[in-house]
């Protein structure tokens, strides 16, 4: 019997069993020369792990008859993932054995007991996640630093408060750059010109990268830098933020700490403080209240680009890695690299934006036609579930093409949720033959832009090539 040992450890802790210990325990029942697969630093929340993927390829190739694990949660803490996995292993006549629990999938009884154990493993994962969230919000409301890299202009210093080990922020030499950024922007400099100046002076971000307009914008909008006083309190309150520190503690000296949904913050990048929770931190601010507030007023009153130059806007990438935008000159739209504006790119682009649109549009039409005609037969149960999701996806795509810009944002989120559901299924996406393709050429600009963003991941344009990457 050809056996494989699989081991996983998310983080090194005193109370966690190491990869080596898991493998040694499993060798006793693995026989001679087992395959060894190990993933270190990966969570059990999903199955997206390199060694696990490699092992499953061996299973599909018929190279493994039995998989041995130290404990069930080393494979997964998700019951749906575990059920799909056991079905796949059964299809390839592969047995799953747990050393600690003493179960395997060779009998129906053992399989039922394994599913029950996985239910408890999933419950444990949910309880752990809830404790982590509760601890996160508890620490945040006390004004403690929540971890991660220190903002540009600050260093982290260890701090112990009431037996809680944490850290707080102290200014470093880059704080002068932060003040300069605010002052230059208040004097009518743009995000891009500030970033270009910093790049010319060989000043790097806290992560050692070149400056971009986005990086400058995030610094100018982050409340961590303000010496928060009563005027700042009133501004934050009017912005829709939930303020967890009493009004009287806004002393004009200390900065703010934002917390809430990390996913939402990453998406918004401080473009709005609505639904953010804010407390006064232990660190001192860098930017005076009046300067910070004047910058926020300019941020909100400035014109925001809607990407109306091309329906491909936001998808085009230069060979240097930076985004491409369009610039009109004598009734033609040319491609320009943001890296060039930041003084860090010199790649020429021989194609205009007009020519690129003419090149891409027929490919999009063929893609829509292909998706409307392609069909792959699966098992009835899997086919039904996929077909239902596909029909919903197809309906939303038609609605998206006729929606307003505000409605499109909501529909795109729902489409992405459906994609996530499809990604968890083992069978490929099914598209009904009865679905009629969209007539892309008849859509208006907003509709084209919405559809393109659902089909194309990005378009990479270098000096000698154009690489179109579909979703």
448 versus 6: the higher-pLDDT residue is: 6
Distance CA 225, CA 245 (A): 17
Q: Domain check: are 286 and 374 in the same one? A: no
Q: Domain check: are 344 and 415 in the same one? A: yes
Q: Domain check: are 12 and 128 in the same one? A: yes
Q: Is residue 85 part of a domain?
A: yes
CATH of the domain at 36: 3.40.50.1390
Nearest to 21 by CA among 99, 102, 118: 99
| Domain total of the chain | 3
State the pLDDT confidence band at 154, using cuts at 50, 70 and 90: very high
Q: Domain check: are 454 and 324 in the same one? A: yes
pLDDT at 63: 92
For 203, residues 6+ apart whose C-beta sits below 8 A from its C-beta are 177, 211
Q: Is residue 306 part of a domain?
A: no
Q: Domain check: are 188 and 103 in the same one? A: no
Q: Is the pLDDT of residue 305 over 50?
A: no
Q: Could you give the angle at the alpha carbon of 120 between the alpha carbons of 116 and 121, nearest 5°?
A: 110
| Highest mean pLDDT pick, 229-238, 342-351, 438-447 | 229-238
Q: Domain check: are 321 and 464 in the same one? A: yes
- Mean pLDDT on 328-357: 83
pLDDT at 378: 42
Helix axes 213-221, 175-186, angle to 10 degrees: 90
**Boundary-marking domain end, from 271, 301, 331:** 301
Measured CA to CA in angstroms, residue 50 lies from 42, 55, 376 at distances of 9, 9, 28
Measured CA to CA in angstroms, residue 157 lies from 154, 171, 205, 265 at distances of 10, 10, 19, 24
Q: Is residue 310 part of a domain?
A: no
State the pLDDT confidence band at 434, using cuts at 50, 70 and 90: very low
Q: Is the pLDDT of residue 162 over 90?
A: no
Sheet holding 466-470, edge to edge: 316-318, 456-461, 466-470
pLDDT at 342: 82
Q: Domain check: are 296 and 320 in the same one? A: no
Q: Is the pLDDT of residue 428 over 60?
A: no
Q: Domain check: are 178 and 63 in the same one? A: no
**How big is the chain, counted in residues?**
471
Q: Domain check: are 276 and 367 in the same one? A: no
Q: Domain check: are 289 and 175 in the same one? A: yes
**What's this model's pTM, rounded to 2 decimal places?**
0.49
Q: What is the pLDDT of residues 264-291, one digit of tens each?
A: 444 445 556 777 888 888 889 999 999 9
Query: Checking DSSP bridges between strand 66-69 and strand 35-40, what pairing results, if any?
Result: unpaired
Structure tokens at 34: 């087992």
Q: Domain check: are 211 and 281 in the same one? A: yes
State the pLDDT confidence band at 133, using cuts at 50, 70 and 90: low
Measured CA to CA in angstroms, residue 125 lies from 17, 43, 69, 396, 410 at distances of 17, 11, 19, 34, 30
Q: Is residue 280 part of a domain?
A: yes
pLDDT at 281: 85
**Boundary-marking domain end, from 268, 301, 334:** 301
Domain that holds residue 404: 316-470
Q: Domain check: are 324 and 432 in the same one? A: yes
Q: Is residue 148 part of a domain?
A: no
Q: Is residue 141 part of a domain?
A: no
Distance CA 437, CA 430 (A): 14
Q: What is the pLDDT of residues 28-71, one digit of tens each?
A: 888 888 999 999 888 877 788 999 999 999 999 999 999 999 98
% of the chain with per-residue pLDDT over 70: 70
Q: Is residue 164 part of a domain?
A: yes
| Highest mean pLDDT pick, 233-237, 270-274, 416-420 | 233-237
Cα torsion 109, 112, 118, 120 to 10°: value is -100
**Boundary-marking domain end, from 274, 301, 328:** 301
Helix axes 289-301, 230-238, angle to 10 degrees: 20
Q: Is residue 145 part of a domain?
A: no
CATH of the domain at 161: 3.90.1750
pLDDT at 462: 85
């Amino acid at each position: 019997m050809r056996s494989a040992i699989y081991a996983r450890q998310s983080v090194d802790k005193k109370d966690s069993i190491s990869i080596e210990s898991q493998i040694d325990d499993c060798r006793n029942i693995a026989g001679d020369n087992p395959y060894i697969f190990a993933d270190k630093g990966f969570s059990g929340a999903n199955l997206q792990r390199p060694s696990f993927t490699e092992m499953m390829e061996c299973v599909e190739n018929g190279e493994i008859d039995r998989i041995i694990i130290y404990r069930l949660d080393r494979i997964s803490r998700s019951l749906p993932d575990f059920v799909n996995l056991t079905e796949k292993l059964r299809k390839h006549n592969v047995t799953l054995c747990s050393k600690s629990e003493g179960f395997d999938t060779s009998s129906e009884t053992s399989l039922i007991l394994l599913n029950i154990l996985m239910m408890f493993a999933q419950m444990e994962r949910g309880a752990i996640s809830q404790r982590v969230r509760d601890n996160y919000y508890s620490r945040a409301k006390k004004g403690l630093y929540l971890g991660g890299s220190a903002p540009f202009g600050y260093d982290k210093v260890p701090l112990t408060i009431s037996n809680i080990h944490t850290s707080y922020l102290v200014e470093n030499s880059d704080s002068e750059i932060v003040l300069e950024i605010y002052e230059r922007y208040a004097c009518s400099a743009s995000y891009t010109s500030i970033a270009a100046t910093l790049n010319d002076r060989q000043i790097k971000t806290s992560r050692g990268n070149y400056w971009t307009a986005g990086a400058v914008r995030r610094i100018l909008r982050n409340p961590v830098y303000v010496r928060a006083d009563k005027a700042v309190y009133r501004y934050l309150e009017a912005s829709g933020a939930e303020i967890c520190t009493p009004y009287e503690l806004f002393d004009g000296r200390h900065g703010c700490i934002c917390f809430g949904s990390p996913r939402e913050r990453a998406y918004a990048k401080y473009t709005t403080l609505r639904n953010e929770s804010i407390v006064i931190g232990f660190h001192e601010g860098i930017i005076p209240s009046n300067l910070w507030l004047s910058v926020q007023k300019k941020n909100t009153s400035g014109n925001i680009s809607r990407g109306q130059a091309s329906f491909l806007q936001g998808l085009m990438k230069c060979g240097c890695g930076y985004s491409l935008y369009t610039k009109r000159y004598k009734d033609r739209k040319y491609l320009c690299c943001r890296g060039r504006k930041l003084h860090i790119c010199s790649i020429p682009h021989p194609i205009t934006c007009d020519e690129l649109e003419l090149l891409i549009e027929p490919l999009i039409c063929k893609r829509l036609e292909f998706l409307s005609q392609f069909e792959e037969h699966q098992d009835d149960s899997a086919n039904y579930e996929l077909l239902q999701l596909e029909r919903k996806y197809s309906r939303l795509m038609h609605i998206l093409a006729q929606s307003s810009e505000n409605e499109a944002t909501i529909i795109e989120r729902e489409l992405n949720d459906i994609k996530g559901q499809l990604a968890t299924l083992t069978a490929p996406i099914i598209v009904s033959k009865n679905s009629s393709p969209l007539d892309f050429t008849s859509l208006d600009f907003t509709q084209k832009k919405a559809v393109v963003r659902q089909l194309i991941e990005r378009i990479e344009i270098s000096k000698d090539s154009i690489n179109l990457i579909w979703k």
